[in-house]
Amino acid sequence: MTIPDIIIAIDGYSSTGKSSFAKLVASGFGFLYLDSGALYRGVTLFAQRMGLIGEDNVVSDALETALEGLDLHFSAEGKTCIGEDCVESEIRSMKVSSQVSPIAAVPYVRAFVDRKLHELASSGRVVMDGRDIGTTVFPNAQIKVFMTASLEVRARRRYDEMVAKGETPDLEQVAANLQERDYIDSHRSTSPLKQAADAFVLDNSQMSMGEELAWLRGVVQGKFGIYD
């Protein structure tokens, strides 16, 4: 099946497996994968390192100017880096997870990440995951997927992922962080997480990744009338 040169936007709740799915789509379709959440996590780590996040997660205005000097990018292997420093595992820590949603609610932070995504996606054939890709960043994306799964399944997946990395998480705390981020992400005033009217919903609580990819192929076939 020949996939046309399109943008695929995958949005949804925390830990629904968006990034694993998007990576699989990228390798299956020969697309570039862009992880917008990694950019928000990178900005959060940067702000933490600069000491710009205060009490109650209030962000110092100095972050806006500091972002002008931030070299946040993906390495050739797709790892998130700040300058020479590859911070892929640090940005996935609970410390970053616990502050990323308030940082991602700041309008100039969103503008910074949106600009980066547009630069990186300029050549097309891209699959991106996030919270507002299909609604705000690329409202003209030809395929939009909105992912969801039960809280139990999502918390368990994130917990297993952390255990596999040698961490010792607490399942309840992991579930609470997911719920808290979903709440902040859905209620912020700048591009909140919501399902685009033209998105296809994928509830993967009971699906394997192979089934998810087959489902997406079906969506693309249906949309573009491809039957080879």
Residues that bind ligand CDP (CB under 6 A): 14-15, 18-19, 36-37, 40-41, 100-101, 104, 130-133, 181, 185
Q: How far apart are CA 74 and CA 120, in angstroms?
A: 10
Using an 8 Å Cβ cutoff, are 146 and 196 in contact? yes
Question: Is residue 148 packed enough to be buried (19+ CB in 10 Å), middle (13-18) or exposed (0-12)?
Answer: middle
Q: Which is nearer to ligand CDP, 132 or 212 (CB)?
A: 132
3-state SS, residue 180: helix
Q: Which is nearer to ligand CDP, 98 or 221 (CB)?
A: 98
Q: Which is nearer to ligand CDP, 70 or 221 (CB)?
A: 70
CA dihedral 95, 156, 137, 212 (to 10 degrees): 150
CB of 91 to ligand CDP, least distance (A): 8
Q: Which is nearer to ligand CDP, 57 or 221 (CB)?
A: 57
CB of 156 to ligand CDP, least distance (A): 13
Q: Which is nearer to ligand CDP, 60 or 148 (CB)?
A: 148
> Which helix or strand (DSSP H or E) is residue 123 part of?
none
Q: Which is nearer to ligand CDP, 89 or 226 (CB)?
A: 89
CB of 208 to ligand CDP, least distance (A): 19
CB of 181 to ligand CDP, least distance (A): 4
CB of 29 to ligand CDP, least distance (A): 20
Using an 8 Å Cβ cutoff, are 30 and 3 in contact? yes
CB of 138 to ligand CDP, least distance (A): 10
Strands (DSSP E) contained in the chain are 7-12, 32-35, 72-74, 80-82, 85-86, 126-130, 143-148, 200-203
Residue 221 burial (CB count, 10 A): 14
Q: How far apart are CA 228 and CA 225, in angstroms?
A: 10
